[in-house]
A and B are shown apart, each in its own frame.
Chain A
């Protein structure tokens, strides 16, 4: 199908979609008139039932914990897939020192202002990431958000240093192990409930006092495990992409003036 025919087809399809969509909107309660009752029930019960003040985290890791388990394995699978696609191929060879892909592009050196600001940010980012993960059941946060914050730490080091510095603070093997522990730990936490004769992913740990960091039972445990998995998964992705872009070269490709 050529370009024009495809665009024409799309315009008809798109217009048809818009007509049906707007027609369908008439059946929806208007913006701001949430009909409930599911969200309202959760809002009023979560603090009493789960001792979790952040209802979103309680929904994620408890009420809809099985759904989040599935989402987490999408994350796990796509990280593994990207890792597999970007692995060292048969006709690749490693070349050090790492260099930028485009040989004719001059990369300006990192300025001192970026370096100092970046290095000053490293520690606060780690602390903030750990805080966000561990307080997920109390205030906005949780494993997903905190994991992303933690994973930005090696990226900042790359930004204000270079690839060698990035390689020093990260480990491919350890990240993969941590990712597996995070993903497997979530599934196993659910399985432990069986030992108490409870359904899968039931909150079997004592709930503790509302407002404490160590409260809400399995919500806290799963939040920490998710944080580990997300942080490690993103680091695995970074390592894969950096290696692909900076280190691996095709055998036929020109390198440093020789064929």
Chain B
């Protein structure tokens, strides 16, 4: 049993990432409102943050900032942090673009239900 527990702890951040991914995807699939759908997409994206941080983490590692700790101190992987940090800001603006699309869909098609938006108009 201890082995199973240890294995679970070893994989916990990755399992939570998978959970966030699937739960967000479920929200997208069953969504009845465009704004809800966009928020679900954000949840899906959040799973990538957790996955990246989980991959780059090192037990006992400090933050990779050597302003007040000497170089050579064990630190976590800075690359995954850099990827994540740009992604958060970029994702916020992409979300704004999607919300703008939702506003236009509401104005042009008169609905924010993805199921009602089937008919394309030129």
Which A residues fall within an 8 A CB radius of B? Answer: 3, 6-7, 10, 14, 17-18, 21-22, 25, 28, 30-34, 36, 38-40, 42-44, 46-48, 53-60, 64, 68, 71-72, 74-75, 78-79, 81-82, 85-86, 89, 138-140, 142, 144-145, 147-148, 211, 230, 233-234, 237, 240-241, 244, 250
- Select A74's contact among B67, B76, B78, B90, beta carbons within 8 Å: B90
- Select B82's contact among A36, A40, A59, A74, beta carbons within 8 Å: A59
Contacts of A56 in B (CB 8 A): 64-65, 78, 81-82, 85
Interface: B93 (CB within 8 A): yes
Chain B's closest residue to A240 (CB) is B100
Contacts of B61 in A (CB 8 A): 34
For this complex, 18 residue pairs linking A to B, each with C-beta atoms less than 8 Å apart, are A7-B29, A10-B26, A14-B22, A30-B11, A31-B12, A32-B57, A32-B58, A42-B64, A47-B66, A56-B81, A59-B81, A72-B86, A75-B93, A79-B97, A82-B97, A139-B67, A144-B86, A233-B93
Contacts of A38 in B (CB 8 A): 77, 79
Interface: B109 (CB within 8 A): no
Flag if B85 contacts A144 (CB, 8 Å): yes
The interface size of chain B toward A, counting residues with CB under 8 Å, comes to 54
B44 to chain A, nearest CB (A): 12
Chain A's closest residue to B94 (CB) is A78
Interface: B39 (CB within 8 A): no
A-facing residues in B25-56 (Cβ within 8 Å): 25-26, 29-30, 54-56
